[in-house]
Amino acid sequence: MARARKESQRMDREPTADPSRYTAKELRSEIARIKRETRALAQQVEHKRRLLLSLLDGLESLKQDAVPAKVAEADGLAEGPRPKGTQQR
């Protein structure tokens, strides 16, 4: 059902089969929609980037403090997270 809905949405966005029937109004509308989607995506990316930098900054602050560092070491978390796909040594 979701697949059919996506296909119908895609068909709504595609220009008419006959390019000569594609109007300037439709083109302006499509350009405006793409700009909105692009801006929204850029805002999401910027928000996630700021969140990541904030988390990394907080993690670095915790590493500098002796008490959390000892607790993390005792729990085996002193090395920190490893990105997916990296090998353990």
The pLDDT of residue 73: 77
Q: What is the pLDDT of residues 45-62, one digit of tens each?
A: 999 999 999 998 988 887
- 10 part of a folded domain: no
Specify the number of domains making up the chain: 1
Neighbours of 62 (CB within 10 A): 14
- 1 part of a folded domain: no
The pLDDT of residue 81: 65
- 20 part of a folded domain: no
- 29 part of a folded domain: yes
11 phi and psi angles, rounded to 5 deg = -65, -35
Helix H or strand E segment including 77 = none
- 2 part of a folded domain: no
Domain that holds residue 43: 25-77
pLDDT tens across the length of the chain (89 residues): 455 555 555 555 565 567 678 899 999 999 999 999 999 999 999 999 999 999 989 888 877 887 877 887 787 776 766 677 766 55
